[in-house]
Amino acid sequence: MNSVCVFVCVCGQVLATGLSGLYSSLPTRLQVYSEDWHCLDPADWQQVPALVHFLHSLDFCSAVTKVAHPSIRSQLLGYIYDGFLVPVLAPALHKLTVEEVMTTTAYLDLFLRSISEPALLQIFLSFILLHTHDNVYILDTLVSRVNTPFQLGTVSLALFRTLIGLFCEDVMLQLVFRYLIPCSHLSRRQRRSLKQRDCYSSSAASFLLLMPSWCPVYLHSTNARSEHIHWPKGADLSVSDSVGYCRASDFLMDVNYLHYLWDARHTIANAQRACRFWSAPYDGTDPPAQEFRPDTPGDDIEDEEELIHRIKSDSIFSLVITSPPSALSPTPSSLEAVSNRAGRASSALELEWDDIFAGQDLCLSPSPSLPNGSEAAESGRSKLSPTPPQVLPLHIQEMQRTATKLVHGSYVEESEFLDDVQVYDLVARKDAKSAVLERMRAANQKASGSSSKGLHVGSTTSTVLTTTGKTVMETVNSIMSTRRRSEDEGRDERRKSTDYEITTTSEGYRNDEANNELETILERVEPPPFTNSFNVENHIITKSGDCDEERLQLKQNSENTTRQMGPNQNTQSDLCLDTNSLPNGHCEPQTPHVSANPPGSKATKNSSFLSQYCELMHSLGVEPDCDDMDDHHETFQRRVQALRQKLKEEDEFSTDFLWEEAEEEGETMEEEEEKEEERSSSANGGRRHGVPCTGPFISVLLSRLENLLENSISVNLLLTGILVQLVSYPQPLLRSFLLSTELHSQPSVRTLHQVLVSVHAQIERYVEDRPDYPALVTQAWRFLLAKDQDCKFRECLESQGGFIVLDPSLPNGSLKKALPLPPLSVLPPCPSIPPHAKSRVFAIVLFAEFLKELAAFAQEQSIAPDWWEEFESRD
C-alpha cells in the first residue's frame, strides 16, 4: 500500500513536472498569424507536435484524475497547481513580448477547452481566479488585456469566450456577478422588477429600432401589407380559417429572424441546464444585495516570508520602489495604491498596456508627506474599517473619494468617472495591504543597496511615476472636457489620435528589446492607446511635458488634498454616524460635495415621506411600521403578496374580487416611492447606493463594442459572440442588466442598450457622408445572408433526420414547405467592396444582425421557463 502511494506520488510529481517540461518545449511564438486569428483550432495545434504532446499529457492527467483515489487525486492536482500553473504558466502569462504573452494566452485558452475532467479544470480555474502574480489576480490581468488594441486583445477575448462558455458559477461570480449583486446599478423600481418578464417584447422592439434607418428590413416594412398574422379574430371563426404568417418576398430576412429565435431558444435552454448546479439564483434577493464581498479571498494568506521570497526571486521587482515610500502618500488609499503600483510595476514595464493606469492609482491619491506616514495610514484604516456593511468594497470607495478630490475644482460628479473604463480598470485591481508595502520596502532596501543597477532603474521608475502622475491629471481633465464637449467631436479626434498612437507605441515596443534601456522606453513608449479611452489627446500633451513642472503640479495637488483631507475625514466619520442612524442603513460613501449639504435636509425629506407613507398606510387600514423604512416597500410587497396568497388559497370563501383595487394600491405606492427616490437622490447628489458599477469586464466589453466600426471583423464577432453568451445566462441579474432598454437607469451605469444607441448614431453619421454605403452594405448583407442560408440548408440536408432548422410543425405555417431550397446559382455574387471599407461594411452588417439576435434572445428570455424554480423543484 505504501509503495503504491509512493509510486503515485512520484507519478504525480512526474506528471506535473512533465507538464512543465513539455510546456517549456512549446514554441514561445506561434507563426499562425493571419489578422483575425484568435484561438488555436485543431487545425492549428495539430501542426505543432510539441503542442500535441502537451495536450496528450494533459489528457493523461485528466484520465488519472478521473480514476484516482481522492487523496491521490488531490495530491496530483496540488502538484499540477504548484508545479506547473504557478511556477510556469503564471510567469509565462507575464512574459516580455506581446507575442509571447499572446501565445501563452492562446495556450491557456486551448488547455481550458481541452480539459474534460472537472477536477482538473477546477485547478486551472482557481489558478485564474485566485492566484495573484505580483499582487494582481491573473483574472484582472487578463481582463485588462482585453482592451489591448493588438492581437493580444483578440486572443484574450477568445479566452473569455471559452471561460464564459463554461457556465461556471465561480468564474461568473468573479467576472460579473460580484459587481451586480449589490444591485447598485439598478434603480429601486428596477430592483423590484428584476424577476418580472418583459411580456410585450418591448426590449426586443427597442433593439430592433436601432437598425440602420436605410437597412433592407426597414425598406421592406414600408410596403409590407403582406406581413401579418392571419389568426382568426375572436369568436369570428367562420370568416377566417387562414393560419400563419404570410411571408413577404424577402424571405431571407424573416427566416433569418426565425433562425435567431430558434437559436436563442436552444441556447437559453442549454444555459439553463448548464446552470442547474449553481448555488444561487442571482435574482437580486439571493444572494442578498447587502451581502457584499469586498474582495477576493486569500488576500491575507500570503505570509511575509513568501512575499519577500517572491520579491527576491523576481529580479525585476527590485527595480520598482527605491524612492522611500514615506515621501509618497500615507493615506490608506494611496498606500494601497503605492503598494499596488509596486506590485505591478514589473509587469507594467514589460507590458505597458496591461497597466496603463497603473500610475493613476498613485496620482489619484496625491497626499501630503507626513513623517509617520504608514502609522497614520494604519490608524486611518482602522478608523474606516468598522463601517457597517459596505455597498462597495473599500478600495472602490477610496477610488471614488480620491477621484472626486482630484477634480475638486471642476464641477465633476464622481459618477462621471466611475463609468469610465479607466477607473474600472483601476478598481479592478486588487489593492495590496499597507503592511505589504512595509515588507516590500524592507526587501527593496536590501535589494537596491546591493545593486547599482537597481538604483539606476529605480530612479527612472520614480520618474515614470511622476510622469504618469501628470498623465492622470491630464487624463482626468480631458475626460471632463471630452465629456463636456459633444461626444461626436471627441470621437473623431480620438480616432485619429488612436491611429497615431498605435504607430508610436509599436515603434517604441520594438525598441523595447534591450530591456535595460528603460530610460529610452520610458521616453518613447507612451501609455498605450486605449481603444476607447478618453485620454488619448493628453498622451500627446504628456509627450512634451516637462518633468519638473509635473512634479510641481503633483506637489501642489497633494497639498490641495492635504487641506481637504483633515476636515474631510471628520465629516466622513460624522456622516457615517449620521447615515447609520438613517433608517435605510446604507453607509453611503460621502464625498466633500455631499457633505456640504446639511445632513438634516435628507432626514427631513425622509421624514416627510415617512409621514406621507404613514398616512397612506393608515388610509389603507394597515398599521404602518415606520421604523423600518428600508424595507417598507418590501414589506408592502410582502403584504400584497400575502394577500394574494390568501386570496388564492381561500378564495372559496373570498369576499370580493380585487384586482383593480390591489393594482391601484400598488401603483400609488410605486409612484410615491418614485417621488421619494427622486427627492432623496436630489438631496444627496444623485447617489444613494454608493457607486453604481458593473465591473471591469462588462465595461471593457461594452467599450470595445462601442468601437465597433473601428474593430476588426474577428474582434466584432468575438464581442458580439460573448455578449450573446452572456445574454443566454438565466440569472435575472445579468439578464435584466443586458436586456434592459429602459432609460431609467443609474446615470453612471452604461447599459448595453446605451452603447448600441451610440453605435447606431455613429453608423448613421458615418453613412450620411457616404451615400454609396447603403447600397454597398445591402449588397454585402444579402450576400452574407444568402450564404448563411445556404450553409444552413446544406447542413440540414446533410444531417437529415436530425434537427431541422425550421420545424415543419410550426403552428404558424409550414415554412419549410413554403421555402424551396435556393439553388446555389441563385446566390448573389460577392459584392466588390473596397478593401479598406471591408471591415466597416461588415461591421455594419454585423451590427444589424446582432440587434436581431439580441431581440430574439430578449423575446425568448421573456418566455423561458423559470430557471431557478424548475431547478429547485428537482430536488
Q: Which of residues 197-236 bind other proteins (CB under 8 A)?
A: 197-202, 204-205, 208-209, 211, 217-218, 220-221, 224-235
- Single out the residue of 424, 267, 281 nearest to residue 733, CA to CA: 281
Contacts of 785 (CB under 8 A, 6+ apart): 252, 253, 256
Q: Which three cell numbers stand for residue 356?
A: 496603463
C-alpha dihedral, 228 to 229 to 230 to 232, nearest 10°: -140
Residue number, 297 or 835, with CB nearest to other proteins: 297
Shortest CB 224 distance to other proteins, Å: 5
Q: For other proteins, what does the binding mask look like between residues 282 and 301, x meaning CB under 8 A?
A: -----x---xxx--xxx--x
Q: Site residues for other proteins, window 773-812 (CB under 8 A)?
A: 807-812
First to last CA, the chain: 39
596 is a contact residue toward other proteins (CB under 8 A): no
Segment 651-670, which members bind other proteins (CB under 8 A)?
A: 651-657, 659-660, 663, 667
At residue 132, φ and ψ (nearest 5 deg) are -110, 135
Asked if omega into 287 is within 30° of 0 (cis), the reply is: yes
Region class of 622: left (phi > 0), else alpha (psi between -120 and 50), else beta = beta
Q: What's the min distance (Å) between Cβ of 271 and other proteins?
A: 9
**Binding residue count for other proteins, defined by CB under 8 A:** 121
**Pick from 79, 84, 179, 278: which binds other proteins (CB under 8 A)?**
278
Minimum distance from residue 371 beta carbon to other proteins (Å): 36
Q: How far is the CB of 690 from other proteins (least distance, A)?
A: 17
Is 338 or 815 the residue whose CB approaches other proteins more closely? 815
Nearer Cβ to other proteins, position 59 or 519? 59
Q: How is residue 174 annotated by DSSP?
A: I
Decide: is 645 part of the binding site for other proteins (CB under 8 A): no
Q: Are 188 and 673 in contact (CB under 8 A)?
A: yes
| β-bridge mates for residue 133, sequence order | 136
Q: Is residue 686 a contact residue for other proteins (CB under 8 A)?
A: no
Give 182 or 685: the residue with its C-beta nearer to other proteins: 182
In the bound state with other proteins, the residue whose beta carbon lies nearer, of 282 and 534, is: 282
What is the Cβ-side half-sphere exposure of residue 76, based on CA atoms within 13 angstroms? Answer: 27
For other proteins, give the closer residue by CB, 179 or 613: 179
Determine which residue in the list 648, 771, 823, 826 makes contact with other proteins, applying CB under 8 A.
Answer: 648
Q: Which of residues 238-257 bind other proteins (CB under 8 A)?
A: 240-246, 248, 253-254, 257
Contacts of 728 (CB under 8 A, 6+ apart): 264, 267, 268, 270, 271, 857
**Closest distance to other proteins from the beta carbon of 807 (Å):** 6
- What DSSP assignment string belongs to 73-140? HHHHHHHHIIIIIIIIIHHHTT-SSHHHHHHHHHHHHHHHHH---HHHHHHHHHHHHH-EETTEEHHH
Would the CA dihedral through 139, 144, 148, 154 be positive or negative? positive
Asked whether the beta carbons of 74 and 126 are under 8 A apart, the reply is no
CB of 731 vs other proteins, minimal distance in Å: 12
Extract the runs of DSSP E, i.e. beta strands, from 669-802: none
Helix (H, G, I), strand (E, B) or coil at 245: strand
Site for other proteins, residues 832 to 861, rule: CB under 8 A: 855, 859
Interface with other proteins, residue 874, by CB under 8 A: yes
Instruction: Give which of 368, 362, 391 is closest to 380, Cα–Cα.
Output: 368
Shortest Å distance, C-beta 70 to other proteins? 9
Q: Which stretch binds other proteins (CB under 8 A): 1-9, 273-281, 339-347, 597-605?
A: 273-281
Q: How far is the CB of 356 from other proteins (least distance, A)?
A: 26
Helix runs in 586-689, H state only: 592-596, 599-619, 632-649, 659-683
Nearer to other proteins, 298 or 721 (CB): 298
Nearer to other proteins, 181 or 319 (CB): 181
Q: Per the structure block, which three cell numbers stand in for 859? A: 423575446
In angstroms, the CA 143 to CA 171 distance is: 12
Q: Which is nearer to other proteins, 423 or 733 (CB)?
A: 733
Stretch that binds other proteins, among 193-201, 325-333, 339-347, 460-468 (CB under 8 A): 193-201
Of residues 297 through 326, those in contact with other proteins by CB under 8 A are 297-298, 301-302
The helix-helix angle for 452-484 and 536-543 (nearest 10°) equals: 130
Cα separation, 719 vs 161, whole angstroms: 9
Task: Give min distance, CB of 513 to other proteins, in A.
Answer: 32
Q: Does 826 bind other proteins (CB under 8 A)?
A: no
Check residue 820 for interaction with other proteins (CB under 8 A).
Answer: no
- 136 phi and psi angles, rounded to 5 deg: -115, 135
Of the pair 76, 525, the CB lying nearest other proteins is at 76
Among 415, 335, 367, 398, which Cα is nearest to 589's? 398
Stretch that binds other proteins, among 176-184, 461-469, 701-709, 840-848 (CB under 8 A): 176-184
- Using CB under 8 A as the binding rule, whether residue 170 contacts other proteins is answered as yes
Q: Smallest gap, in angstroms, from Cβ of residue 464 to other proteins?
A: 29
What does the per-residue mask of binding to other proteins show for 21-60, with x meaning CB under 8 A?
----------------------------------------
- Dihedral over Cα of 176, 180, 184, 187: its sign: positive
Q: Which is nearer to other proteins, 244 or 545 (CB)?
A: 244
User: Which of 852, 789, 794 has the alpha carbon at shortest distance from 250?
Assistant: 789
SS3 229: strand
* Cβ neighbours, 10 Å, residue 415: 19
Q: Give yes or no for residue 821 binding other proteins (CB under 8 A).
A: no
Q: Decide whether 201 or 477 has the Cβ nearer to other proteins.
A: 201
Residues 92-151 touching other proteins, rule: CB under 8 A, are 113, 115-118, 121-123, 126, 129-132
Site for other proteins in 71-90 (CB under 8 A): 74, 77-78, 81, 86
Q: What are phi and psi of 749, to 5 degrees?
A: -105, 125
Does 734 sit near other proteins (CB under 8 A)?
no
* Cα gap 65→122, rounded to integer Å: 12
d(CA 281, CA 874): 14
Of the residues 169, 263, 630, 674, which one makes contact with other proteins according to CB under 8 A: 169
Residue among 384, 405, 386 nearest 395 (CA):
384
Nearer to other proteins, 769 or 875 (CB): 875
Please say which residue, 181 or 759, places its beta carbon nearer to other proteins. 181
Q: Is 192 in the site for other proteins (CB under 8 A)?
A: no
CB nearer to other proteins: give 123 or 843. Answer: 123
Residues numbered 543-572 forming contacts with other proteins, rule: CB under 8 A:
none
Nearest distance, CB of residue 410 and other proteins, angstroms: 37
